Amino acid sequence: MRLLKERIIKDGIVKDGDVLKVDSFLNHQIDVNLYREIGKEFYRIYAGCGVNKIVTIEASGIGIAVAAAMYFDVPVVFAKKSKTRNIAGDVYKSVVHSFTHGKDFDVVISKDFLNSEDKILIIDDFLANGSALEGLCDILKQSGAEVIGAGIVIEKGYQAGGKMLREQGMRVESLAIIDKMGPDVGIIFRE
């Protein structure tokens, strides 16, 4: 997605530890016009696939998922990062390793909001090592819902997640794939 790539080049900041900061337009301050275009693009890619619900993970995924859901005209369900280990039996639960915080946390979705009839599009801001997506897939498997595919805004293609998930047979569509980034090379996108 050209608009997105241009914005990443203009305003993205490469930090130590392989982290791309996009706080000024994607996940702290939000450029709503860009979000609208991102939502439209996910709809263009997955329209006609029978998606009836979008699933994401708090917090950065929520706004993007909502932007897409407006086009699909479907609800968004987001996985909550659970602060308590004492979880009641009315949730599906998995564990996610946070790339940016370097620790594990539980994620939960209420059983009220997922069922075996659901056809799910997963949306997230970044794909790095794939732990967030794996956790969501685990939860969706517990619910019996079908995963139609994933829509990712920025995939760091040199990290393992995208390859691993595609090899498992999952459809993963990323609007910008970064092949390389660093202080010396800048940001290099896959064609």
99, 140, 150, 177: which one contacts ligand 5GP (CB under 6 A)?
99
Scanning 13-21, 39-47, 83-91, 104-112 for contacts with ligand 5GP by CB under 6 A, the matching segment is 13-21
Which CB, 123 or 148, lies closer to ligand 5GP? 123
Scanning 16-24, 85-93, 107-115, 136-144 for contacts with ligand 5GP by CB under 6 A, the matching segment is 16-24
Q: What is the pairing mode between strands 172-182 and 53-57?
A: unpaired
151 binds ligand 5GP (CB under 6 A): no
Give residues 124-143 in contact with ligand 5GP (rule: CB under 6 A): 124-132
Which CB, 70 or 164, lies closer to ligand 5GP? 164
Task: Give the binding-site size for ligand 5GP (rule: CB under 6 A).
Answer: 18
User: Smallest gap, in angstroms, from Cβ of residue 170 to ligand 5GP?
Assistant: 13
List residues near ligand 5GP by CB under 6 A: 19-22, 27, 60, 99-100, 124-132, 161
